[in-house]
């Protein structure tokens, strides 16, 4: 088994990233350690240049996000933690896969449509071909499992389509070049929504910081954001079915359940019939208690730039070694002469 996943180092790590993906990374790291598989987790800095960015901020965010991942429990002595820019094989494989990916497939990507909006002509080519780089990220390592939130499912399906077509066109059934990766999406918390709008996902790119809980927020900020979170005037229902048509309530209850490690029904059996006046402080306190140790570790780790650079350097060295055999196979399959 090989687990591979990435995160863009833009802005802060937020609760959606944590519950949708990072918590699963850490859980899979535990499984792999005991079962002998391998985990590779990376900062998708090459992806981050697909949209306008400030170079000095990207460099700082890459280190900060590294500190945040380690604070969440990603252990560089058990998992390979690196940034894409130090492993040129990602970009090389992307180019090789560009011959296989189809314009029509990329045109259907909802993230492309959302991010380019009405300004497709002005969007970067990198934004359009971004999912091909994402396919290269996982196919390069023969990933079997890719832990992600719901919003990445379509990109992973595309990675499978690209792998399948490449194998069909350039390899034999007995000796395929690429493994088809399976997305691992948590059954609960696969899609954490904005605190200000239950129909929009919690996101780093939302201009309002009140829309998300950052893993770097202190206790006061967390309590305040939960207190101001959008809700409706009804009391909480006693059963899950009663959350239908109440996206904000469903989101807050879902966050509580995921953070406490209990089912939505158990949360409702405790808070059913109560108003948000009672539920919100309980949710705020739960978040503060659970996130405080992560925050403490993060504040400590982020100060040591040399240590963070050393983690990324060592991780990249291991990643390059694992990447080379598949890349060479892909070159050879395409008939590209490598001396
Ligand atoms: P990114 O940086 O937007 O998000 C990182 C991870 O967090 C998950 N996530 C969420 N989960 C639940 N609720 C939310 N509101 C929420 N917001 C984000 C995402 O699903 C993701 O798992 N393209 C990817 C990065 C990437 C990647 C890869 C991932 C590049 N190459 C290869 C997996 C494999 C992205 O932009 O994620």
Predicted confidence (pLDDT) per residue in 188-199, tens digit: 888 999 999 999
Name 220's Cβ contacts closer than 8 Å, sequence gap at least 6. Answer: none
Question: Is position 230 annotated as part of the catalytic site?
Answer: no
* pLDDT tens figures, 96-105: 999 999 999 9
Question: Is position 201 annotated as part of the catalytic site?
Answer: yes
Q: How many CA atoms lie within 13 Å of 178's alpha carbon, on the beta-carbon side?
A: 29
Q: For residue 130, which atom of ligand 1 is closest to its CA? A: 23
Q: How many CA atoms lie within 13 Å of 46's alpha carbon, on the beta-carbon side?
A: 24
Token digits of residue 72: 């969440």
Beta bridge partners, 63, equal none
Residues comprising the chain, all counted: 339
> What interhelical angle do 125-139 and 153-170 show, nearest 10?
70
Tell me what pLDDT residue 187 has: 85
The finding on whether 192 has its CB within 6 A of some atom of ligand 1 is yes
> Ligand 1 centre and the CA of 25: distance in Å?
12
| CATH for the 209-301 domain, from 1.10.240.10, 3.10.310.10, 1.10.340.30, 3.40.50.300 | 1.10.240.10
Mean pLDDT in residue range 202-209:
93
Q: For residue 192, which atom of ligand 1 is closest to its CA? A: 13
Catalytic residue chosen out of the listed positions 115, 240, 280, 329: 115
Q: List the chain domain ranges.
A: 2-190+305-333, 209-301
Instruction: Quickly state the pLDDT bin for 161 (edges 50, 70, 90).
Output: very high
209-301 shares the fold of 2-190+305-333: no
| CATH for the 2-190+305-333 domain, from 3.40.50.720, 3.30.70.890, 3.60.70.12, 3.40.50.620 | 3.40.50.620
Please give the full DSSP string across 265-293, using - where no structure is assigned: HHHHHHHTT--HHHHHHHHHHHHHHHHHH
Q: For residue 143, which atom of ligand 1 is closest to its CA? A: 34
Mean pLDDT in residue range 161-176:
97
The finding on whether 213 has its CB within 6 A of some atom of ligand 1 is no
> Ligand 1 centre and the CA of 339: distance in Å?
38
Catalytic residue chosen out of the listed positions 153, 165, 204, 280: 204
């Amino acid at each position: 088994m090989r687990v591979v996943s990435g995160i863009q180092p833009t802005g802060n790590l937020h609760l959606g990233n944590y519950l949708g993906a990072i918590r699963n990374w850490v859980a899979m790291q535990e499984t792999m350690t005991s079962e002998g598989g391998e985990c590779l987790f990376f900062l998708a800095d090459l992806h981050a240049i697909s949209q306008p960015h400030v170079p000095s901020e990207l460099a700082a965010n890459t280190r900060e996000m590294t500190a945040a991942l380690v604070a969440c429990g990603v252990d560089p002595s058990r998992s390979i933690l690196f940034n894409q820019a130090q492993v040129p094989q990602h970009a090389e494989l992307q180019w090789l896969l560009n011959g296989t990916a189809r314009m029509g497939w990329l045109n259907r990507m909802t993230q492309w449509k959302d991010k380019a909006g009405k300004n497709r002509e002005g969007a970067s080519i990198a934004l359009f071909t971004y999912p091909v780089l994402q396919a290269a990220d996982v196919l390069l390592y023969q990933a079997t499992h890719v832990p992600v939130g719901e919003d990445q499912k379509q990109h992973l399906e595309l990675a499978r389509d690209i792998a399948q077509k490449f194998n069909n066109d350039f390899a034999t059934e007995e000796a395929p070049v690429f493994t088809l990766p399976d997305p691992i999406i948590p059954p609960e918390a696969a899609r954490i929504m904005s605190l200000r709008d239950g129909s929009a996902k919690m996101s780093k790119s939302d201009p309002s910081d009140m829309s998300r809980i950052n893993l770097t927020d202190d206790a006061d900020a967390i309590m305040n954001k939960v207190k101001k979170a959008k809700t409706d005037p009804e009391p909480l229902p006693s059963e899950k079915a009663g959350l239908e048509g109440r996206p904000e309530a469903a989101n807050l209850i879902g966050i509580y359940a995921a953070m406490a490690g209990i089912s939505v029904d158990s949360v409702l059996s405790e808070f059913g019939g109560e108003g948000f006046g009672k539920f919100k402080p309980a949710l705020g306190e739960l978040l503060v208690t659970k996130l405080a140790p992560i925050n403490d570790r993060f504040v400590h780790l982020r100060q040591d730039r040399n240590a963070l650079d050393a983690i990324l350097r060592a991780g990249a060295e291991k990643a390059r070694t694992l990447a080379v055999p598949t890349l060479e196979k892909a070159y050879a399959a395409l008939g590209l002469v490598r001396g």
